[in-house]
Amino acid sequence: MAALAISQCVSHVARPASPTTMTTKPSGSRQEQFFRSALILRKSTRWQWEKDQTGLNDVELKKYLQSKGVNVQELLENEKKQVNAVQEIVNELTKAGISTRVVTRDQLQQYLPETDLVISAGGDGTFLTAASAVNDQTPVVGINTDPIGSEGHLCVGGKNPPRNLIELLVSGKLKWVQRSRIRVTVKESSKYSSIFSLTKRAKKTAITNLALNEVFIGEDEAAKVSTYNISIDDSSMVKQKSSGMIVTTGTGSTSWYLSMNAIDENAATSVIEALQSLGFNVPVNRNIVSKVVSTVNDKIPFEPDHPSFAFSIREPIFNGTYKRTATRGFARKIKLESRCTNGYLVLDGATKIPFPRGAVATIEISGNHALKTVIV
């Protein structure tokens, strides 16, 4: 297959226009909301997790963990803090005339159709769990009940949620935002047998999920090279070999994607020294290097409601067989055909979708899949 033309590569690297010129959906607006019912997704603490795994009651579990050398008192204190925080949320919602139900992640899907508000009581991981279950405009509001263990980037107020958060929520004093999400659809190919087929005559099946932060595509084993064919925004399919790729929303651009593409002082110093060798009069000192690092890295994250996603290829291999293609940029659609031995797509660091040889993954972004949430 022919490689992407240089002009095509450059067009994908350029940052698209801001959401204000490319989307008609309002974001950051304040409006009074009327909620009748709310689901509270409770964070699974270590104590609760141990209970679920062992099936032991409190007394039995305490003895069991003590025999393993676990600091049981610390686990119980964290459990108590979580229980109290959830109860406080329940009390505030009740005072606002909103009926509540506290659920675990296993119960969330069951009761979701009966609610018009989802509150995640935990950290960013709990918020992502709640978001993954919502595929419509049901609002998801994050309250960081574990400020020591979680930064709470996705939660209202981060580590310091407002004490009157529920009051602010129902009175319309918080900003509603639409966080863009990535839609991932994986289908088997008729050219190859697939784990999606139950029999040789089974019809083609598809797995569709939404990701709020990012999607990683590659081999299950990190040391193995990932091989696939790729098309960006309906361009010609080209074959590519790398350590995998990341596709991220604006919400996820401050996390893994930022770490992957950020430069450090050593890289900045090397570039400045290279410019000096070419005759450019650029001084090398700590102040200049620091400014270069911050200037470059500050431009990597982008808006949570941006209508495009960003992609970045990890350690691409270019040679006579695998021609040079765009390794980083923005797009609205990517199509991948797996040539992996044991490939997977990993959504938000949690959901794993098999991506065996011959499977086709379509990665898209649309305002129709955005998640409704709030910020202070």
Confidence of residue 11 (pLDDT cuts 50, 70, 90): very low
Q: What is the 3-state secondary structure (H, E, C) of 68-95?
A: CCCCHHHHHHHHHHHHHHHHHHHHHHHH
In a domain? residue 374: no
93 and 55, same domain (yes or no): yes
Query: Does 243 lie in the same domain as 159?
Result: no
In this predicted structure, the answer to whether residue 223 has a pLDDT above a threshold of 60 is yes
Are 14 and 56 in a shared domain? Answer: no
DSSP string for 264-313: -HHHHHHHHHHHHHTT------HHHHHHHHHHHHHTS---TT-SSEEEEE
Average predicted confidence (pLDDT) for the chain:
87
Q: Is residue 376 part of a domain?
A: no
State the Cα–Cα distance between residues 51 and 60, nearest whole angstrom: 10
| pLDDT the model gives residue 288 | 94
Answer yes or no: do 58 and 114 share one domain. yes
Q: pTM above the 0.85 mark? A: no
Determine, yes or no, domain membership for 200. yes
Instruction: Looking at the structure, tell me whether residues 185 and 49 fall in a common domain.
Output: no
Instruction: Flag whether pLDDT at 200 surpasses 90.
Output: no
Residues in contact with 84: Cβ distance below 8 Å, sequence separation at least 6, in sequence order:
none
Helices (H), 141-221: 165-170
Examine the domain organization and report whether 229 and 323 are in the same domain: yes
- Asked whether residue 29 is domain-assigned, the answer is no
Mean pLDDT within 301-327: 93
Could you read off the pLDDT of 254-294 as tens digits, one per residue? Answer: 999 999 999 999 999 999 999 999 999 999 899 999 999 99
How many domains in the chain?
2
157 and 61 share a domain?
yes
What confidence score (pLDDT) does residue 315 get? 94
Strand partners, 211: 182
Within-domain flag for 341: yes
CATH label of the domain that carries residue 133: 3.40.50.10330
Within 10 A of 15 (CB to CB), how many other CB atoms are there? 12
Host domain of residue 160: 37-173
| Residues 210, 77 within the same domain | no
Long-range contacts of 318-325 (CB under 8 A, 24+ apart): 321/239, 322/239, 322/240, 322/241, 323/2, 323/3, 323/4, 323/238, 324/3, 324/9, 325/3, 325/4, 325/9, 325/230, 325/238, 325/240
Give the pLDDT score at 197. 41
State the CATH number of the domain containing residue 243: 2.60.200.30
Note the pLDDT of residue 9.
40
Residues comprising the chain, all counted? 376
Q: Is the pLDDT of residue 323 over 90?
A: no
Choosing from 139, 173, 207, the residue where a domain stops is: 173
Please write the tens of the pLDDT for every residue from 22-63. Answer: 333 445 666 556 799 999 999 999 999 999 999 999 999 999
- Do 187 and 238 reside in the same domain of the chain? yes
Q: Mean of the pLDDT values across residues 362-368? A: 95
Tell me which DSSP letter residue 369 carries: G
Token digits of residue 77: 């204190």
Whether residue 325 lies inside any domain: the answer is yes
* Helix axes of 72-95 and 58-67: crossing angle, nearest 10 degrees: 140
- Residues 357 and 214 reside in one and the same domain: yes
pLDDT of 295 above 70? yes
Q: Are residues 132 and 168 in the same domain?
A: yes
**322-361: string of b/e by CB count within 10 Å (b at 16+)?**
beebbbbbbbbbbbbbbbbeebbbbbbeebebbbbbbbbb
Last residue of a domain, one of 107, 141, 173: 173
Share of the chain above pLDDT 70, in %: 87
pLDDT for residue 146: 86
Q: 3-state DSSP call for residue 365?
A: strand
C-alpha neighbours within 13 Å on the C-beta side of residue 26: 6
Last residue of a domain, one of 173, 208, 225: 173
Indicate whether 212 and 341 sit together in one domain.
yes
| Contact predicate 151/126, CB 8 Å | no
The C-alpha atoms of residue 338 and residue 241 are separated, in whole angstroms, by 11
